[in-house]
Amino acid sequence: MKEEKTQVADIDRSLYDFRYEEDERDYLGSGITADIIKEISDEKGDADWMREFRLKSMEIYNKTPMVEWGPSIEGLDIDNIVTYIRTKSRMNTDWNDVPDDIKNTFEKLGIPQAERESLAGVGAQYDSELVYHNVRKEVAESGVVYTDLESAMHDERYAEMIHTHFMKLVPPTDHKFAALHGAVWSGGSFVYVPKGVRLEIPLQSYFRLNAKGAGQFEHTLIILEEDSYLHFIEGCSAPKYYEAGLHAGCVELYVGKNATLRYSTIENWSKNMYNLNTKRALVDEGGKIEWVSGSFGSHVSYLYPMSILNGRGARAEFTGITFAGEGQNLDTGAKIVHNAPDTSSYMNTKSISKSGGISTFRSAVTVNEKAAGSKSAVSCESLMLDRISRSDTIPVMDIRTDKADVGHEAKIGRISDETVFYLMSRGLSEEEAKAMIVRGFADNVSKELPLEYAVEMNNLIGLEMKGSIG
Amino acid sequence: MSQLLEIKDLTAGVEEKELLHSVSLTVGAGETHVLMGPNGAGKSTLGSVIMGSPEYAVSGGRLFFEGEDITDDSADKRAKRGIFLSFQNPVEIAGVTLSEFLRNALEQVTGKHLKLWDFKKKLRSCMEILGMDASYADRDLNVGFSGGEKKKAEILQLLVLEPKLAILDETDSGLDVDAVKTVSAGIDEYKKRTGGSLIVITHNTKILEALRVDKTHILAAGQIAAEGGAELVDEVITNGFEKYIKGGK
């Protein structure tokens, strides 16, 4: 199998921009029709409710108008996106059984090493299906379920649980791409943490798009019972292509009473990708959701993880960073809904734009009548590295009780020449000086990440900063 | 003795405004020079121009360091050659610790990778000389530092980086008596260890007490108005700059 390296004009992304050739006949077809939906259902052996769900979602999709309030997605030709690609291999739990080309891709991404080191299990998505999946024994013994969603749906122990939770937080009526997701979703992870189980080691999944023009519609469903703890890490990177690629995944998180879920993501899509991802968490009494989110790649992103604080004292924390370089328009942020008394939320985001990149931060905080005694603090800082880049902040607040404490703070800045000179006078080149300032700016996000991800993020910043001079 | 720094007919300024007019100055290896002058005379500008600040454009004259023309070198290249500037107002950089920054800088100027353990040892010993609490190493660079702490941090960098020429831009200003003593001790230690050269921009003698001054330059209205030995410092302290402003031309 021939390895192709894609041409990289702007910066050296060769570490991330590699792919293997796909066999043409694996494509199931382009565009979205009832026939395709049925074929997907047949292929997957969907239960009746899922067959109906997919078709209904497709109808909603066809009726719902295109998103028009954010960055342009005109370049996205939805009918030409191959919605589903069968993977050559089935699920594997032994690394030795994973086919070589797939293994090579993973090895370049460092997956096996990561697994050997400290990670509890790997659910990596190759194209549309999971090919490698292994949960360490002790994790399984604690009663934690970590598997791919499709297998779980066919397991009678979880089928009902999935039926009652699947796309209940993010219904297909939510927006056009949620409907598309409901119709063609494929692959993704299912995690169930029983009552009182606190998993100290994080679970990790690594998503990756590999076929030209392929869309990826993975679904992540995580359910935490009372008093449990989980750290889930989702990492994404994709090869670079000249045809538009689409990612319309969906993440649904159910955080039970007094449970805590930490959900970390580094997204590093190739720079022609449209990342229209929907993430949502429902938090019960005394529970807590902690989001850590790094958005690097993609051509256009729409990403606003939502936390619904549904029980007394529920909490949400969102720490995010967005880096928009040349040709990128990243529209990111977070939404919080305070739906119960004494709930609290804290949002801390940083955005960086350079070489004409546009980063827009949107926050939406809703405090309902029932949410007396709630607190919310939003802080966002942006850094523009040159005069042609852009950074916008759009905070929205909807406060329906006078017994709430809500604050918002925004700072927009540029790298000062004086600061660059100071660092250069100590021997750092202009590029290194700027990279150091940007790393410092991103530091509070790096600190929230597990070590190897923090290292990867620092490397990404270094890569993005290359060629930023002159 | 070969010259370390040679400034020849240097003219520099910002956009349309010329701030330094044909300044010439020579510093030999191991020498200590004092640069004095009234406010706005161009002392800090001269320091910044020697360091290679992009804020100022050189419109005439040349700068030589160890015999090589550095007029067109960027600041980082000059730092690598061994020039250091202690800033009057050091900048704050959030998210970058003093230790991480200084280790990076040291690797840049020496071009050698340094083991973390060895660096920490060196850093700790330098901090002790300046009476700095070890916790400062892990604090963000200059963020939340008092004026005195920032100046100490500059001298700490001087001790760690060991340049051949250090320009100290009013490192003593705004410091209390004890802090001036500490900073002076640091500068003294730098001289002892490296035998490096100094250009001290200052308004008072406290910081000079421990140093043997070789030469004094008076800068007024962007020009060298007078030059002399150590005695010129005392003369200026007693009589002020008045005569240089009036008759300095």
**CB contact (8 A) between residue A426 and residue B90:** no
Nearest CA in chain A to B90: A422
Q: Is residue A271, in this structure, part of any structural domain at all?
A: yes
Band the pLDDT of A286: cuts 50, 70, 90. very high
Beta-strand ranges (E) seen in B146-239 are: 165-169, 197-201, 215-220, 223-228
Give the pLDDT score at A103. 61
The residues near A172 (Cβ < 8 Å, ≥ 6 apart) are A53, A56, A57, A60, A61, A178, A179, A181, A182, A183
Instruction: Tally the C-alpha atoms within 13 A of residue A104's C-alpha that lie toward its C-beta.
Output: 11
More confident call, B36 vs A89: B36
Q: Does B52 touch chain A (CB under 8 A)?
A: yes
In a domain, A451, yes or no: yes
List CB contacts (< 8 A) between A423 and chain B: 93, 101, 105
Task: Kindly report, residue by residue over A308-361, the tens digit of the pLDDT.
Answer: 999 999 999 999 999 998 899 999 999 999 999 999 999 999 999 998 999 999
Nearest C-alpha in B relative to A443: B95
Q: Answer whether A414 touches B (CB < 8 Å).
A: no
Kindly determine whether residue A416 and residue B91, on different chains, have CB atoms separated by under 8 Å. Answer: yes
Cβ A445 vs Cβ A319: under 8 Å = yes
Query: Smallest Cβ distance to B95: which of A418, A421, A439?
Result: A439
Pairwise CA distance, residues A264 & A266, whole Å: 7
CB contact under 8 A, A425 and B101: no
Domain boundary among A247, A271, A303: A303
Per-residue pLDDT tens for A421-463? 999 999 999 989 999 999 999 888 888 877 767 777 777 777 7
The answer to whether B95 contacts chain A (CB < 8 Å) is: yes
Rounded to 5°, the CA angle A136-A141-A147 comes to 55
The answer, for A431 touching chain B at a CB cutoff of 8 Å, is no
In this complex, the residue of A421, A440, A444 whose CB is nearest that of residue B93 is A440
**Residue A372 pLDDT:** 95
Q: Which residues of B touch A417 (CB under 8 A)?
A: 54-55
Q: Are A287 and A277 in contact (CB under 8 A)?
A: no
**B110-147: per-residue pLDDT in tens?**
999 988 899 999 999 999 999 999 999 999 999 999 99
**Is the residue at A311 inside a domain?**
no
B57 touches chain A (CB under 8 A): no
- pLDDT-based confidence at residue A112 (cuts at 50, 70, 90): low
Give me the pLDDT at residue A75, please.
Answer: 78
CA distance A215 to chain B (A): 37
Cβ-defined contact of B84 to A440 (cutoff 8 Å): no
Percentage of chain B beyond pLDDT 70 is: 98
Q: What are phi and psi of A222, to 5 degrees?
A: -125, 130
Asked whether the predicted pLDDT for residue B88 surpasses 80, the reply is: yes
Separation of alpha carbons B139 and B153, rounded Å? 11
Q: CA B169: distance to chain centroid?
A: 5
Which is nearest to B151 in space by CA: B129, B135, B173, B181? B173
Judging contacts by C-beta atoms under 8 Å, the chain A residues touching residue B76 are 424-425, 427-430, 433
Establish if A132 belongs to a structural domain.
yes
The lowest-confidence range among A266-270, A287-291, A383-387 is A266-270
Chain B within 8 Å of A321 (Cβ-Cβ)?
no
Token pair belonging to A26? 């694996």
Residue A72 lies in a domain: yes
* Order of strands across the sheet that contains B197-201: B83-86, B165-169, B197-201, B32-36, B215-220, B223-228
Q: Domains in chain B, start-ordered, CATH in brackets?
A: 3-247 (3.40.50.300)
- Whole-angstrom distance, CA of residue A457 vs CA of residue A436: 13
Per-residue pLDDT tens digits for B219-240:
999 999 999 999 999 888 888 8
**Whole-Å CA distances, A96 to A92, A204, B234:** 9, 20, 82
Provide the total of helices (H) and of strands (E) in chain B, helices listed first. Answer: 8, 12
Gap from A429 CA to chain B (nearest CA, Å): 6
CB contact (8 A) between residue B85 and residue A425: yes
**DSSP code for B25:** E
Element (H, E) at A123: strand A121-126
Q: Does B158 touch chain A (CB under 8 A)?
A: no
Domain that holds residue A424: 416-470
* A111 backbone dihedrals φ, ψ, rounded to 5°: -65, -50
A425–B79 C-beta distance less than 8 A: yes
Cα A9 to Cα A200: distance, rounded to the nearest angstrom: 42
Among A270, A324, A275, A337, which residue's Cα sits nearest to residue A300?
Answer: A275
Any B CB within 8 A of A242 CB: no
**Which positions in chain B touch A454 (Cβ < 8 Å)?**
none
More confident site: A175 or A269: A175
Burial (CB < 10 A; 0-12, 13-18, 19+), residue B209, is exposed
Q: Give me the residues paired with residue A198 across strands.
A: A229
Nearest to B96 among A429, A430, A440 (CB): A440
Interface residue A428 vs chain B (CB under 8 A): yes
Interface contact A91, partner B, CB < 8 A: no
Closest alpha carbon to B48 in A425, A434, A423:
A425
- The SS3 of residue A340 is coil
Mutate to test the interface with A, among B44, B51, B77, B93 (most CBs of A within 10 A): B93
Give the pairing of strands A189-193 and A229-237. Answer: unpaired
Residue A437 at interface with chain B, using a CB cutoff of 8 Å: yes
Q: Is B113 on the interface with A (CB under 8 A)?
A: no
Q: Which of A243, A272, A303 is the last residue of a domain?
A: A303
Task: Give the span between the Cα atoms of A464 and A449, in whole angstroms.
Answer: 19
> In this complex, is the C-beta atom of B111 within 8 Å of any C-beta atom belonging to chain A?
no
Q: Looking at the domain assignment, is residue A21 inside a domain?
A: yes
The Cα–Cα gap between A7 and A5 comes to 7
Cα–Cα distance measured from residue A91 to residue A130, given in angstroms and rounded to the nearest whole number: 6
Residue A336 lies in a domain: no
Chain A nearest-CA residue for B83:
A425
Which residues does chain A have within 8 Å of residue B157's beta carbon, measured at their own beta carbons? 426
Tell me which chain B residues have a C-beta less than 8 angstroms from the C-beta of A416: 91
Q: Which residues pair with A414 in a beta bridge?
A: A384
Instruction: Please say which residue of A245, A272, A303 terminates a domain.
Output: A303
Chain A residue with CA closest to B96: the answer is A440
Indicate the pTM of the whole model: 0.80
Residues A386-412: what's their mean pLDDT?
A: 91
pLDDT in tens, A344-359: 999 999 999 998 999 9
- Write down the pLDDT at residue A375: 96
CB contact under 8 A, A436 and B140: no
Residue of B nearest to A440 (CA): B95
What domain count does chain A have?
Answer: 2
Predicted complex ipTM: 0.96
Spatial distance between the Cα atoms of A189 and A152, rounded to a whole number of angstroms: 9
Q: Is A464 helix (H, G, I), strand (E, B) or coil?
A: helix
Alpha carbon A66 to chain centroid distance?
A: 21
Q: Cβ of B64 under 8 Å from any chain A Cβ?
A: no
Contacts of A271 (CB under 8 A, 6+ apart): A10, A13, A240, A297, A298, A299, A325, A327, A328
Residue A354 located in a structural domain = no
How many contacts does A have with B, using Cβ atoms within 8 A?
82
Lowest mean pLDDT among A8-12, A42-46, A142-146, B198-202: A8-12
